[in-house]
Amino acid sequence: MVEIKRETKETKIEAKLELYGNGKSSIKTGIGFFDHMLESFSKHSLLDLSLVCDGDIHVDFHHSVEDVGIVIGEALKKEIFPIKNIERFGEATVVMDEASVNCALDLSNRAFLVFEAVGDGKIGDFDVELVEEFFRALCFNAGITAHIICQRGKNKHHIVEAVFKSFAVALRRAVAKNDRVGIPSTKGVL
């Protein structure tokens, strides 16, 4: 288990993450929809996540969402690297009614994000453009390459939930233990 604390003028975050958990979570960001997505992420990745974020949500949700992505990314990096005896690559397509989202991951220690899932608009009072900001912060701080592509969908809630779930399942598959793999790179190190 790893613990991360991060404090800025905009947010104060405390998180605990156990990569090989049971999908249990305790999330409190003050942003209901975001809490729901993080709970879903924890459940479907099977990682345990305890996270409290006290952010300037009276201004906007942006700082909290991005900074939570930074903290989860830092925690994942500490849990995953140095890589040994795990699959490294993971992929999942998740459907939510009419929405279908594919996520492919490489735990490469080289951060990159391709995000073609949802643009702008709102789900309640949550700006959906923040979903990309969250995953950019997470991937760049974790050293993960991720391609998150919405294959079809109309309902923004369904699309965003499928984004979080597909990333979670792809991550669960990428960190699956496999002793035969050793260090999963021809370079000998990641």
Respond yes or no on whether the N-terminal peptide bond of residue 82 is cis (omega within 30° of 0). Answer: yes
Give the list of residues 6+ apart from residue 5 with CB closer than 8 angstroms, or none: 13, 14, 15
User: What pLDDT, in 10s, does the model give residues 31-44?
Assistant: 999 999 999 999 99
Give the list of residues 6+ apart from residue 51 with CB closer than 8 angstroms, or none: 13, 14, 15, 16, 25, 26, 27, 28, 29, 38, 68, 71, 72
User: What pLDDT, in 10s, does the model give residues 118-155?
Assistant: 888 999 999 999 999 999 999 999 999 999 999 999 99
User: What pLDDT, in 10s, does the model give residues 99-122?
Assistant: 999 999 999 999 999 999 988 899
DSSP H stretches of helix in the chain: 32-45, 62-80, 129-142, 156-174
Q: pTM of the predicted model, to two decimals?
A: 0.97
User: What pLDDT, in 10s, does the model give residues 37-71?
Assistant: 999 999 999 999 999 999 999 999 999 999 999 99
Pairing assessment for the beta strands 145-152 and 112-116 based on DSSP bridges? parallel
Domain 2-174: what homologous superfamily? Imidazole glycerol phosphate dehydratase; domain 1 (3.30.230.40)
Backbone angles phi, psi at 74, to 5 degrees: -60, -40
User: What pLDDT, in 10s, does the model give residues 151-170?
Assistant: 999 999 999 999 999 999 99
Question: Domain residue spans in the chain?
Answer: 2-174
In the block, residue with structure tokens 């809630």: 157
